Amino acid sequence: MIEKMNFVTLAGPRNQIDYLVDNYLSKHDIHLENALSELSANDNFTTYTDENPFRSKLNESHELCQLLDDTNNVPTYDIDILSAEKIIDDIDSTLNEIRSKINELEKERLLIDEDYEKLSYFKNLNYTLRKIRNMKFFKYRFGKLPKADYEKFISYLDSEINEVFISTYETNDTVYGVFFAPDEYFDEISNDFRNIHFDEIAISTKYQDTPEIECSKLAKQQLELTQRIDELQESIHTIVEDHKKDLVSAARKIESAYSNFNVRKYSAVTRQSGLSFQVLCGWMTVKDSLKLQKETDDDPNVMCIIGDEDEEHKTTPPTKLRNLRLFKPFELFVKMYGVPGYDEFDPTWFLTITYSIIFGMMFGDLGQGLVLFIGGLILYKLKGLNLAGIASFAGFFSCIFGALFGSFFGFEFESVLNPLHSTIKLPFLGTISTVLVAAFLFGSFMILTTMILNIMVAFKQRNIGKMLFGPNAISGFIFYGSIILMIVLYMTKHPLPGTAVLLIMFIIPLLLIFLETPLRNLINRHSPVIDESPGMFAATAFFEVFDYLITYLSNALSFLRIGVFAISHAAMMQVTMTLAGAENGGTPNIAVVIIGNIIVMAMEGLVVGIQVLRLEYYELFGRFYEGKGREFVPYRKKEHNK
């Protein structure tokens, strides 16, 4: 159901907004509105424009808390805001010194990584770098070149040319190595290598031994630096864990201060004058608003004014749902479609019952239903997953219809109805599956039920036109109900009503649906009654009525999928039993039975769940529910989710 709301106006000293929040607003759920908008006609009010001074400290505290293993079960204590900020500053200062050391070590490790990578390409060079640099008559260059250019260069290389290239490492497209050339030919040789895209790799002069030995030394330094960085990182973790209680207490206080200051953006304050107070406005449940008013009665500095939903306000009341714990998980599906408007009905109870019944019909098996019921219940209790709660409730109805259909993990027993074999003989249609007939009648009943709900919503909204005229109004209910009644009478071979009765049941309601727009305009005193020309109105209304008639038929036929899935489920389980060798009283292969049940539950369970939701949204909700409301979000929760 939707909680009744009151509009609450809270006024207090201008410079004591924290007092208002801590002593009153923090104790109750209130959906704050912009007070200045409510008081827009009054020029004596303005709003706060100051930036929240706790933003940076809030971010710092959150970053520090993220270093903790767990913040949920930490005992906290009350602390003033200055002490809280000092705790954050002290811890952050200590950690910054450690972070500075870590940054220096990481820069050092990065340089070593770069040098290691350069030298690793030349590990196969069995010469010390010292000897190479100390050569008197030769010069050298380390580097790399494209493999295609290198192979072409080698094929044309003259044995008498004054150069030597030593390849040390190759990839699919690159060759690494070093070339040597006499001093007098070095410039010429260098130019040749540049022509084949030789890219020099500079090796620092501090490395003197062979590249392989130097790489071993660098690897050892890398390991030592990594260990030192890890030790410093662990020291950060140790520090925050040792100060966990202080840190979390300070963070909570800063969050509260930040949240309290943000209340200012919702408040209206008096301009600089003799008076100096501020006003906060918002929606509260009737129960909470009365409690708040009682609490403020003895406070001379605070005034609480309560206005009900019928008074004129700039904003519409938000929607707060209150349902039985059994129905709570299904609020997920309702909100997926849209939050109910404050002037609508909460369809959670309706969806809970209809979704579960339809799911049970389509997925009727006593054993599989028990698995869904127990498994979903356990997950819902342990994890609080709404989908698990939905699965559990739907599984319960699967058990009921499984018992009616006589199926337990595919094993059949005596039952009221067998989806595969139960049939009924009807005039004109002949022999037809009983579950298909039941699905059609159930769908028709559901459509009529949603029409009644639409009429009730229109009555609640005091919208007489919506209640009387239209395909889902009283006129539509009489017309569609008459059609279903005629079908039932004909199929059961009962006499049909006379012409006069048929005229009242069909023609008059259809005419009222045809004239829906002008009749609503007349009731609402809207002028003109018809916005377009009579001819254009007649043509538009005719096609709309024709569309309504098609929709009536398609909606009812859409519910046949309930029977189709019931038959399909029974057929799939029969196939499973056949594969397991359980036909004709044979001993079944238990492994095949288990695997078959798992496959059917995983595949068909998901499809059925989606199909039922589709029926709810497209065939039922669209007739009575708009879902254009806004959710009631308590200020504390709103700030916490930012």
Q: What is the pLDDT of residues 303-312, one digit of tens each?
A: 888 887 667 7
Q: Name the amino acid, one letter, at 426.
A: L
Picking from 514, 511, 513, the residue whose alpha carbon sits closest to that of residue 541 is 514
Question: First and final CA of the chain: distance in angstroms?
Answer: 28
Confidence category of residue 535, pLDDT binned at 50, 70, 90: confident
Which of 119-123, 244-248, 373-377, 407-411 shows the lowest per-residue confidence on average (mean pLDDT)?
Answer: 407-411
Q: What are phi and psi of 404, to 5 degrees?
A: -70, -35
Confidence category of residue 262, pLDDT binned at 50, 70, 90: confident
Residue 481 near residue 446, CB atoms below 8 Å: no
Instruction: Count Cα atoms within 13 angstroms, Cβ side, for 329.
Output: 22
Using CB atoms within 10 Å of the CB of residue 317, give its burial: 0 to 12 exposed, 13 to 18 middle, 19+ buried: buried
Indicate the pTM of the whole model. Answer: 0.71
pLDDT of residue 67: 87
pLDDT averaged over the chain?
85
pLDDT of residue 270: 74
Residue 454 near residue 473, CB atoms below 8 Å: yes
pLDDT higher than 90, residue 627: no
To the nearest 10°, the Cα dihedral for 363, 365, 366, 368?
-80
Q: Can you tell me the mean pLDDT for 454-463?
A: 88
Q: Can you tell me the mean pLDDT for 18-43?
A: 78
pLDDT higher than 80, residue 496: no
Using CB atoms within 10 Å of the CB of residue 110, give its burial: 0 to 12 exposed, 13 to 18 middle, 19+ buried: exposed
pLDDT of residue 189: 85
> What percentage of the chain's residues is helix, strand, coil (to nearest 5)?
60, 10, 30
Picking from 369, 438, 365, 378, the residue whose alpha carbon sits closest to that of residue 406 is 365
Confidence category of residue 410, pLDDT binned at 50, 70, 90: confident
pLDDT higher than 50, residue 268: yes
The three-state secondary structure class of 385 is coil
pLDDT higher than 70, residue 132: yes
pLDDT greater at residue 577 or residue 120: 120
Confidence category of residue 583, pLDDT binned at 50, 70, 90: low
Which range of 501-505, 548-552, 585-589 scores highest in mean pLDDT? It is 548-552
Strand locations in 171-251 (E): 174-182, 199-200
Burial of 544-569, coded b for 16+ CB within 10 Å and e otherwise, reads ebeebbeebeebbebbbbbbbbbbbb
Measured over the CA atoms of residue 337, residue 341, residue 344 and residue 348, the dihedral's sign is positive
pLDDT of residue 640: 47
Confidence category of residue 40, pLDDT binned at 50, 70, 90: low
H or E element at residue 426: strand 423-426
Picking from 192, 186, 191, the residue whose alpha carbon sits closest to that of residue 138 is 186
Confidence category of residue 157, pLDDT binned at 50, 70, 90: low
H or E element at residue 89: helix 81-120
Confidence category of residue 165, pLDDT binned at 50, 70, 90: confident
Neighbours of 271 (CB within 10 A): 10
Residue 110 near residue 216, CB atoms below 8 Å: no
Q: Can you tell me the mean pLDDT for 135-147?
A: 91
Q: pLDDT by residue (tens digit) across 271-285?
A: 655 557 788 888 999
Q: Name the amino acid, one letter, at 124.
A: N
pLDDT of residue 498: 63
Q: Can you tell me the mean pLDDT for 72-89?
A: 88
Picking from 419, 420, 395, the residue whose alpha carbon sits closest to that of residue 612 is 395
Q: pLDDT by residue (tens digit) across 429-449?
A: 778 888 888 898 999 899 999
